[in-house]
Chain A
Amino acid sequence: MVKITAMLVMKYVSEGADPIILANASDVSNFGFFQRPSVKEFVVFFGRTVAKRTPLNQRQSVKHEEYKVHSYNRNGLCALGFMDDHYPVRSAFSLLNQQVLDEYQKNFGDSWKTVEADVTQQWPYLTESLTKFQDPAEADKLLKIQRELDETKIILHKTIDSVLERGEKLDSLVEKSSDLSAASQMFYKQAKKTNQCCTVL
């Protein structure tokens, strides 16, 4: 019963550069035993792909099968959440904004600005939040505290294709990505061939 599969914090400052992972927490216990490593890879792949297309100070939600990837780039510090379709969008963003970004700034200040490579160390607070906010009612409590009337509109994408540039295809991004091992590529192709959904994100 996992409503949030993963949460990421990334650095994405200059357009064109690849986003860098600052923190990564995921819960893959709901997936088949042999699929779990691939799911983790897909979280990274999709996270980087969506973050790269989330301009400064913009928020967007991308629907992929029955998951939604919510992304908020706050001045170069980007928080992403991989949630089930059921998870209310408002709750998701209040979680990413307050629980994740606010706390990250509090803990790490501006040190992230000089990070040049993916951080592999766990941020325990993020993993705890993943568990705590499985029930969107918890995230709703954050809504009550949020006072700032955010002027930024949230862009909703019905498919991942609409986030990509014209001419870009998800298949070729998957093939070229260094985030995905041969095994994950195989899972992806298999799922497409059998027209299966929900095998991987």
Chain B
Amino acid sequence: MMSKVTVDPYELLANLENILDSDPHIEEVGFIHPSQFAAFDGEGAVIPSSSTGNTFEVLDEINKPKSEGASSFENVFLYREHKLGISSLSLFLLYNAAKDAFFTSYRSYRLSSDPLIKKAAEIDVMKHSRALLLLSSDFGTAWNSRKMIVSKKSLPSLLMDELHLSALVLSYSPKSERSWSHRRWVIKMIAQKDEDLQDIVQKESVFVKTIVGNYKMNYRAWSYRCWLVSYMSITQILHELQISRDWAALHVADNSCYHYRSCLLLKIIEKMHHDHVSDCLPHVEIRRLWQQELDWVASLINRYVGREALWLHRRFLSLIWMKHLANDDDQIALCNSCADNIENVSRFVKDELIFAQQCSIVPDNDFEDYEAQAIHSADYIAWLAKQMPVSFFVELEKSSHYETFKLLLYQNGKGSLWESMAASWRRSA
């Protein structure tokens, strides 16, 4: 009479690690409900041809009952086309086993002085931390143990492996902060070795693009992409602006993607101010680029009525334009009384006021979009007035749009705020 057999969590862990070892191209991990095994399995498992072991055999082995009456490991792991599903029922068991195994090997690695034991422990730490991170994405100690081990060697392939693991973790936990920061660490390690980053940075940017396409509102992914900009050459920056344009035009509610564009554009301006840097664009080129971006945003604002992200992007563009680009020469115009400067401000203000005026027309109230557009246009002008020299306000007050503009601010509860700002400007003008 067989007694009830309980599943050995360490055997489960070993099986998980075997699957990971047998397929170096595994690309996605997910946690699934036990009922889904039947649904997915129906189409049959696909055997990877380039793996070192035969994953199908491994799974076969796992799923075979160990002894009569024992429960098999069926319905714990589902493997298909480089994607691994883990049953949610087994998660807790696996997690505890992985955590125990990790800490045991980690202790051994750190405390042992015998090189042979240390070497064996090192292999275990890498193996167990990998399994652990696939179950708990932000396990800091696990990530750091890998950093510790990898940084002691100088094999570039190891760093690539770390990127691969991070990508795998992000496949089930796309906002995992530690996974993103691990990628930053890898880039910094590569940069330290003075190696050419262009290729890697390019690939990383594409990687972020895939992630944010699938999982929206991923601030950390976008932060990482912005961080990459500091490693980009001018050519790369221009390329990024180019290829992300169409994507941005289809994601007009996504403020992060416009913020990314402003990071790229800001980098161009920064390079412009470092004269000794050879990697920068001529002033006239930057102005052309800026005008292009302003026109492009204007067309999007007209097309996608009432989108705040677009207006915010325009604020950035206008501000930089006025501060750094409106003048024809490379000098930053600090002199507010220069005739040229006043001329440029005047022209710019007139253009922006005409634009805002067009956007404040509300033909119907059906979707709240025209209303939103009008309010955004008023907020935009108010914000500009605050950022620009007083001459902007002077022009604004003279313009035919002033009354409509004030009305919109009052409608939105910003009337008295505006009046107090306007009063102080009148005094100083």
Seen from chain A, the residues whose Cβ lies within 8 Å of a Cβ on chain B are 1, 3, 30-35, 37, 66, 84-86, 88-90, 135-136, 153-154, 156, 181-183, 186-187, 197-198
Say yes or no: A153-B366 contact (C-beta < 8 A), given A1-B213, A86-B304.
Answer: yes
Bound Cα distance from A182 to B254, whole angstroms: 33
Say yes or no: A31-B33 contact (C-beta < 8 A), given A84-B253, A86-B304, A90-B367.
Answer: no
A16 to chain B, nearest CB (A): 29
Provide 29 A-B residue pairs closer than 8 Å at the C-beta atoms, listed in order of the A residue. Answer: A31-B214, A32-B28, A32-B30, A33-B28, A33-B30, A33-B83, A34-B31, A34-B83, A34-B85, A35-B30, A37-B36, A66-B253, A84-B216, A84-B253, A86-B250, A86-B252, A86-B254, A88-B304, A88-B305, A136-B250, A153-B366, A156-B367, A181-B33, A182-B33, A186-B33, A186-B88, A197-B217, A198-B216, A198-B217
B72-85 vs A: 1/0 string, CB under 8 Å? 00000000100101
For A153, what are the chain B residues with a Cβ–Cβ distance below 8 Å?
366
For A85, what are the chain B residues with a Cβ–Cβ distance below 8 Å?
253
CB of B343 closer than 8 Å to a CB of A? no
For A32, what are the chain B residues with a Cβ–Cβ distance below 8 Å?
28, 30, 171-172, 214
Task: Tell me how many residues of B have a C-beta within 8 Å of chain A.
Answer: 33
Bound Cα distance from A90 to B254, whole angstroms: 19
CB of B35 closer than 8 Å to a CB of A? yes
Known contacts A32-B30, A84-B216; 9 additional CB pairs below 8 A are: A3-B250, A34-B28, A34-B31, A34-B36, A86-B307, A88-B304, A183-B33, A186-B33, A198-B216
A166 to chain B, nearest CB (A): 24
B33 to chain A, nearest CB (A): 4
CB of B422 closer than 8 Å to a CB of A? no
For B368, what are the chain A residues with a Cβ–Cβ distance below 8 Å?
156
Within 8 A of A (CB), among B324-378: 366-369
From B215, B247, B369, contact of A1 by CB (8 A): B247
Closest 6 CB pairs of A and B: A34-B30, A183-B33, A86-B253, A85-B253, A33-B83, A186-B33
User: Which of A1, A31, A181 has the most chain B CB atoms inside 10 A of its CB?
Assistant: A1
Within 8 A of A (CB), among B240-286: 247, 250-254
Say yes or no: A30-B214 contact (C-beta < 8 A), given A153-B366, A186-B33.
Answer: yes
Bound Cα distance from A67 to B177, whole angstroms: 25
Bound Cα distance from A196 to B121, whole angstroms: 36
Within 8 A of A (CB), among B304-323: 304-305, 307
Bound Cα distance from A197 to B217, whole angstroms: 8
Nearest residue, chain A, Cβ from B304: A88
CB of B39 closer than 8 Å to a CB of A? yes
User: Which of B85, B251, B366 has the most chain A CB atoms inside 10 A of its CB?
Assistant: B366
Bound Cα distance from A1 to B88, whole angstroms: 29
Seen from chain B, the residues whose Cβ lies within 8 Å of a Cβ on chain A are 28, 30-33, 35-36, 39-40, 80, 83, 85, 88, 171-172, 213-217, 247, 250-254, 304-305, 307, 366-369
User: Which of A1, A33, A136, A181 has the most chain B CB atoms inside 10 A of its CB?
Assistant: A33
Nearest residue, chain B, Cβ from A61: B367
For B213, what are the chain A residues with a Cβ–Cβ distance below 8 Å?
1, 30
Bound Cα distance from A93 to B250, whole angstroms: 18
A30 to chain B, nearest CB (A): 5
Nearest residue, chain A, Cβ from B214: A30
* Cross-chain contact B247 with A37 (CB below 8 angstroms): no
A143 to chain B, nearest CB (A): 12
Nearest residue, chain B, Cβ from A85: B253
Bound Cα distance from A135 to B253, whole angstroms: 14
Bound Cα distance from A31 to B214, whole angstroms: 6
B425 to chain A, nearest CB (A): 37
* Cross-chain contact A89 with B367 (CB below 8 angstroms): yes
Nearest residue, chain A, Cβ from B366: A154
Bound Cα distance from A188 to B35, whole angstroms: 15
For B40, what are the chain A residues with a Cβ–Cβ distance below 8 Å?
34
For B369, what are the chain A residues with a Cβ–Cβ distance below 8 Å?
88-90
Bound Cα distance from A137 to B89, whole angstroms: 46
For B250, what are the chain A residues with a Cβ–Cβ distance below 8 Å?
1, 3, 86, 135-136
From B39, B252, B304, contact of A37 by CB (8 A): B39
B86 to chain A, nearest CB (A): 9
User: Which of B36, B83, B247, B253 has the most chain A CB atoms inside 10 A of its CB?
Assistant: B36
A123 to chain B, nearest CB (A): 24
B53 to chain A, nearest CB (A): 22
For B305, what are the chain A residues with a Cβ–Cβ distance below 8 Å?
88
Bound Cα distance from A181 to B217, whole angstroms: 27
Nearest residue, chain A, Cβ from B218: A198
User: Which of B28, B33, B39, B254 has the most chain A CB atoms inside 10 A of its CB?
Assistant: B33
* Cross-chain contact B215 with A183 (CB below 8 angstroms): no
* Cross-chain contact A183 with B35 (CB below 8 angstroms): yes
* Cross-chain contact A154 with B367 (CB below 8 angstroms): yes
Bound Cα distance from A86 to B216, whole angstroms: 12
* Cross-chain contact B251 with A86 (CB below 8 angstroms): yes
For A197, what are the chain B residues with a Cβ–Cβ distance below 8 Å?
217
